[in-house]
Structure 1
Amino acid sequence: MLISVRRLRIARALCDNPGRNLLFGPPVRHHAGDRASRRAVPARTRRRRMSPRPIATATISFGLVSIPCQLYSSAENSQKVRFNFLSPEGTRVKQQYVDAKTGEPVERRDLIKGYQFAKDQYVTFKPEELKALEAEATQAIEIVEFVPVDQVERAYIGKTYYLGPARGGDKAYGLLGAAMKKTGWAALAKYAARGKQYLVLVRPVGDHLVLEQLHYAHEVRDIADVPSGEGEVAEAELGLAVQLIEQIASESFDPSKYEDEVGQRMLEAVERKVADGTEITAPAEEETTAQVIDLMAALRASVGGEGEAEQKKAAGS
């Protein structure tokens, strides 16, 4: 089928049934009357809590101090509805590289990398040339300086990862976090991974450390280049605006109050189509079966054919 019913049930259960055995338990069934009560429950209590798995290992280093750590993703997209491209018959399609000039297909193994320095003009690089330019993956988060944590503009912050202590690093991990919390400083560091060098910020969050990948200065656009409002603000208008803000203001940020409504609608639409039987089943590939021939029958037929031919030849002579 286009989408597995079991996968849909698991995806729904991840949101709504944190205590169920999703892989081996019975199918999860929902009733229309339950939707309001489900949505009233915060998403973080509906989601099945699973122990995160580290995606990489690293070592925080500054001076003579080394802290073995593990990196964890701070977000996941398992709830996202993903679609596949299909042919009208329901079979999967493959992407193919085509020469823009000749229209001939190009195999992936024959592709080379080139940098366009002028229109339709490229300089090419061999894999070994690019490999020599890559940063050595030392897995070291090398702290180069400490800066006030509130001085880092949010525009510079890219992806966020969680840092946890690896074996033997608990005490030093806790000490670094406590020292940064007490001083109000965060650590700027260089981190080499996957052939690239990243500028990162390590800062404390509660009892944990967070690693934030930063954009380099040349990657961030100057906000001064963006037009800003130049009209004068009247005091009465300002007072009304402040009053409106205070009417819908909250004392704290609670992201669990909000859900991806579009994603929920898509998931429900997919479930309806599967339940209605409107899915497309990819046709089975035709198997080329060799014709089975009875060897003895073939031999007898051959011998019989030759005998008949000899008899006809003798009768004609």
Structure 2
Amino acid sequence: MHTLWKGSISFGLVNVPVKMHAATEARDFKFNYLHKECKNRIRQIKKCPVCDLEVGSDDLVKGFEYEKDRYVVLDEEELTSLEQPMSRSIDILDFINLPEIDPIYYQKSYYLSPEETALKAYRLLCQSMEESGKVALARVTMRSKQHLACLRVFENGLVMETMYYPQEIRHMDVVWDRVVPTEAELTMARQLIENLARPFDPDKYHDELHEQMVSLIESKVTGETYQVETPSKGGKVVDLMEALKASIALTENEKSQSQPIKPNETINLINPVNDGDGLEERDADNSQDKIINKPKSTLTPRKRTSRRAKEA
């Protein structure tokens, strides 16, 4: 596993040397723009629209737009003077209960593995955190930026989640709290949730769009015809109570078979919308195209990896 960063976990006067590794990877497909006629990759040109000239890297500066079309220029020396020093320490600030952190704060996951000289100290930290039921809130500097982070035990080791600061979290404007469901609707909704409740099994879920994209690309490479089913338009339009009753009846059977509701069994609802025109019909159909006669592919997109942090 590639090492992105080396440093140490610091809590109190204890230091645990560790290495950092990416815990996740993006499976995005990277597409390039080609010239339609010759199918060759095009080149992105940096051009000044005022001077009508192509601009090279040596003629570029960084500017911040403080008003419309008005910029203040910052040179590299000024920007460098503001950068955080490359600290090699993950400084634990507090130990807290994991449920106190809302998942909206999490950014990216990293594994922390111990250096050979710190196996006992690393295991001591893991076991003591696990037994206490606490996670660590820490501060770490990576790529000249200071991050808030959460350290927790995962699969007998430590995983670090970089986090957003509170100032980076947008707040929702609640405009729907004036709508009050009836007790009957709440009872049926709770029953529907209970019918759909199952233990978390990550292997059960698949990126269907990714699999379809793989099949489409493979068919283009081999010259085969790619076929998809016509998506379902959903069921008949009913009111909320009818939809709840039908959903409960459907999930009673689905629950015994441990299978999700099929897209073509989705029910359309009429929901009241406060737009001055009364009721607005909304389609609740979430069906997606399905691949016909396509085996599971082994084609994978190019991995997108993070830039390596500079070694101190």
TM-score relative to the length of structure 1? 0.66
Q: 1:227 maps to which residue?
A: 175
Unaligned ranges ≥5, structure 2: 226-312
1:61 is the counterpart of 2:10 = yes
Q: 2:159 maps to which residue?
A: 210
Q: 1:170 maps to which residue?
A: 119
- Structure of greater Rg: 1
1:120-199 correspondence runs (5 A): 120-199=69-148
Distance in 2 of aligned mates of 1:93 and 1:192: 37
Q: 2:191 maps to which residue?
A: 243
Select 1:270's aligned residue among 209, 217, 226.
Answer: 217
Q: 1:257 maps to which residue?
A: 204
Do the aligned partners of 1:201 and 1:211 also contact (CA within 8 Å) in 2?
Answer: yes
Do the aligned partners of 1:198 and 1:214 also contact (CA within 8 Å) in 2?
Answer: yes
Aligned residues: 224
Deviations 1:175-230 (A, max 9, x none): 1122222222221111112111111111122411111111111111234x333332
Q: 1:12 maps to which residue?
A: none
Deviations 1:141-172 (A, max 9, x none): 11122222221122111112121112212111
Q: Taking structure 1 as reference, are residues 84 and 204 closer, same or farther at Cα in structure 2, changes over 3 Å only?
A: same
Unaligned ranges ≥5, structure 1: 1-51, 279-317
Q: 2:29 maps to which residue?
A: 81
Distance in 2 of aligned mates of 1:168 and 1:226: 52
Deviations 1:71-97 (A, max 9, x none): 1212123x5432211112111111111
Task: Please identify runs of 4+ aligned residues in structure 1 that moved more than 6 A.
Answer: none
The Cα of 1:56 is off from its aligned counterpart by: 2.0
Deviations 1:113-150 (A, max 9, x none): 11122222222111122111101112211112222222
Q: Taking structure 1 as reference, are residues 277 and 265 closer, same or farther at Cα in structure 2, changes over 3 Å only?
A: closer
Give the letter aligned to residue 210 of structure 2. G
SS of match in other structure, 1:169: helix
Distance in 2 of aligned mates of 1:205 and 1:185: 12
Q: Taking structure 1 as reference, are residues 226 and 167 closer, same or farther at Cα in structure 2, changes over 3 Å only?
A: farther
Select 1:201's aligned residue among 126, 147, 150.
Answer: 150
Give the letter aligned to residue 187 of structure 2. G
Deviations 1:236-268 (A, max 9, x none): 222211121122210x21121111111111111
1:97 is the counterpart of 2:39 = no
Distance in 1 of aligned mates of 2:15 and 2:128: 15
Give the letter aligned to residue 59 of structure 1. S
Do the aligned partners of 1:143 and 1:189 also contact (CA within 8 Å) in 2?
Answer: yes
- Tell me the percent identity: 36
Distance in 2 of aligned mates of 1:273 and 1:203: 44
